[in-house]
Amino acid sequence: MATVVMVFLAVVVLFGLVAFHALIVRNQTRIDTLNAEIADSVRARQELQLAVAQLEAPDRISAEAIGRLGMIKPAGVTYLEPLSAEAAADVVPVSSGSDIEAGDDVTSVDNNERTSEEAPEGRG
């Protein structure tokens, strides 16, 4: 009886070792697969980083804006001066039913004073 038990235990241990080894092999395969996926992801990230940088290049954006979207360089810049507290109080809110229509200039900016024209010789 003892011999049978010993043989049985030996078989169990043997199968256990085989199963353990199979588990190790399977996990190693999994590790190899994950390492390969990491390498692929790193590569993809680098490619995307380069693609983003190329898309953000000022030269490309400028060409797209002018060539495809039909934009033009502004002749000058208009600065808007914030209203003082007193002046702001005098501004009639649009929602009050005034006669303001679309297209009306509703700012109270003194454009004569704050409008920036082109620099001398028109290079601005």
Partner 1 sequence: MAPRAAGPRPAPYDPGRRIAVMILALVIVAAALVVQMVRIQVFDRERYVAWGEEQRSRSVVLTGDRGDLVDRHGETLAVSMPNPVIWVDPRLVVDPVGQAEALAPVLGREAADIAEILDDDGLFRYLQRPSDPETARAIEALTDMPGVFVTEEPARFRPNGTLARSVLGSTDVDQIGISGIERQYDSSLAGVGGRMMSERSIDGRTIPDSERIIEPAEQGADLRLTIDRALQFQVERSLIDTVEAENAEGGMVVITEPATGEILAMASVARNADGEVVTTPDNRAVTWTYEPASVMKALTFAAVIDSGLASPTTVAAIPDTVNLYEESFTDDELFGTRSMTPTDIIVRSSNTGTVIWARELGATALDEYLRAFGLGTATGLDFPGESAGLFDQVEDWSGTSIASISLGQGISVTPLQMLAAYNTIANDGLYVAPRLVAEVSSEAGSERPQAPPARRVIDAESASAVRNMLTRVVVDGTARRALVPGYDIAAKTGTAQKPQEGGGYTDSFGAYHYVATVAGFFPSEHPQFSMIVVIDEPAPEIYASRVSAPLFGELAAWTLRHFQVSPDTDLVFDESAAGPDEAGVD
Residue 50 vs 87, nearer CB to partner 1: 50
Three-state DSSP state, 37: helix
Contacting partner 1 within 12-51 (CB under 8 A): 21, 24-25, 27-29, 31-32, 43, 46-47, 49-50
Give the C-alpha separation, 55 to 66, whole Å: 15
- Would you give the binding string for partner 1 spanning residues 59-98, x where CB under 8 A is met? x--x--------------x-x-x-----------------
Minimum distance between the CB of residue 54 and partner 1, rounded to whole angstroms? 4
Minimum distance between the CB of residue 9 and partner 1, rounded to whole angstroms? 25
Evaluate whether 87 touches 54 at the Cβ level (below 8 Å): no
Three-state DSSP state, 78: strand
Evaluate whether 112 touches 81 at the Cβ level (below 8 Å): no
CA dihedral sign, ordered 23, 26, 32, 35: negative
Rule CB under 8 A: which residues touch partner 1? 21, 24-25, 27-29, 31-32, 43, 46-47, 49-50, 52-54, 56-59, 62, 77, 79, 81, 113, 116-117, 119-121, 123-124
